[in-house]
Homo-oligomer: A and B are copies of this chain.
Amino acid sequence: MDKNEKLLIRPYLRTRSLVPENQESPIEFMNTPSIPEEYFYKRNHFPYPEIQKNAFELSIEGEVQRPMVFSLQDLLSLPSKEIAMVMECAGNKRAFFEPKVFGEQWEMGAMSQGVWKGVSLAELLKYTGVTYRVREVVFEGHDYGYRNDLNGEYRFARSLPIDKAIHPDTIIAYEYNGKPIPFKHGYPIRLIVPQWYGMASVKWLRKITLIANTFNGPFQAIDYMYYPFKDNDIGKTPVTRINVNSTILQPHDLAQLDTGIHTVFGIAWTGMGTISEVEVSLDQGVTWEKTQLYQDLNSMYGWTYWSYKWYAEKKGEYVLMARAKDTYGRMQPSNAFWNRKGYGFNAISSVRVKIE
């Protein structure tokens, strides 16, 4: 063991469950614009599927004029594009809901960002054509298994409204950060849906079906719905676009710091437009001050860095709050919208620190 290795200090994925594998990205890594594949968060509904590489094919059927089967070679030969974007699990920050909700207790790491490369679904649909009846597109993965709440086995499948499905940035991806997609993230191909929560980006894609009605699989009609009430399903609505949100990366909650200048910094992101402003408050939200934003204008789906110089001269306990706004006027609320399955948490971020 050489000295560098023995002294190497690094963060790791943060385990929530092992089967299925659910692990958070370490927030210590979110100061990099593209998360290395080994630190990308993992969120699975089932054990990993068996994929026969040579037998791989993707079928497109249903409300099309010519059902077709594409090989991986076919996909690689078509015009490609790269999408740099935040991927966020709908359950990210679930652990912060009060009252508590059941399910994986994700903290702030059920999200990552990086660059996906693939073919627009719209490009493929040029070959198959579509019928005038089409309303939704159903994406089915190779992963399947049992659920606690239903009998029998289910495959992971999700639909998109046709308009979102044919957006040119909705792609069938085969690369992540310049390399084939890692097995655990959907090898050989997965759907990539910018601006929607991660459940839409179906991994290990095997079949695409255009339908004339509404898809009602359990991952569409039971899970990934906002249920406002604990004991009934009144008012349920589907989880779709990512809410405007931010995370304070530094300082950590309940940290003890020296007097002096501290750089408060973090990330902000949204599923509509881009981040227009991030503000911080040191007085429980009475007054807010602007932070410095660092945006990559070529990457409108990525996260925005922000920072604020804090002159902490007086010893004592402080609460630092941060809130983001997007170009559609959405702003992080003081309290997250509570819902029974715990999706979309985006309350104003805050950390408590002690200057000593």
Contacts and interface: CB of A to CB of B under 8 A. Distances in A.
B254 A105 contact: yes
Given A100-B352, A102-B353, A148-B258, 17 more contacts: A1-B183, A7-B48, A9-B19, A10-B18, A11-B15, A14-B15, A17-B252, A100-B254, A101-B254, A102-B255, A102-B256, A102-B317, A103-B254, A103-B256, A105-B252, A105-B253, A148-B256
Interface of A: 1, 6-7, 9-15, 17-19, 21, 23, 26, 28, 48, 100-103, 105, 148-149, 182-184, 252-258, 317, 352-354, 356
Q: What is the oligomeric copy number?
A: 2
Nearest to A94: B254
A13 B14 CA distance: 8
Q: What 9 pairs between A and B have smallest CB-CB spacing?
A: A12-B12, A11-B15, A102-B354, A6-B183, A9-B21, A148-B258, A102-B256, A102-B254, A149-B356
A149 B356 CA distance: 6
Contacts of A100: 254, 352
Nearest to A24: B14
A26 B15 contact: yes
Contacts of A13: 12
A28 B22 CA distance: 13
A14 B17 contact: no
A12 B102 CA distance: 23
A356 to B, nearest CB: 5
16 contacts: A7-B183, A9-B19, A9-B21, A10-B18, A11-B15, A11-B18, A12-B13, A14-B14, A14-B15, A15-B28, A100-B352, A102-B255, A102-B352, A103-B256, A105-B253, A148-B256
